[in-house]
Amino acid sequence: MVQAQFLTHVTIRGERWDSLAWKYYGDATLFSPIVMANPQIAVEPVFEAGLVIGVPILQVSQATTSDLPPWKRTS
């Protein structure tokens, strides 16, 4: 059985789903995995302080040089 790994984040007032995605993933558009992992948290425009949110650790696949088109290869 594979167990999902999470980081725990305690919100400060005014944070948003997209700001958490930016903080943890470097991409504000990747908020969906955080929302899906926290069904107990209402989807509101901003958070109140003190909510405990699980942030899934995403697996990033690294492209190998052979996977890239010729014009993007470095060698």
Q: Report d(CA 31, CA 23) in Å as an integer.
A: 10
In the block, residue with structure tokens 């903080």? 23
pLDDT in tens, 12-23: 999 999 999 999
What is the predicted pLDDT for the residue at 63?
56
pLDDT per position as a tens digit, 22-74: 999 999 999 999 999 999 999 999 999 999 999 999 876 665 666 777 777 76
Cα–Cα distance for residue pair 75/71, rounded to 1 Å: 10
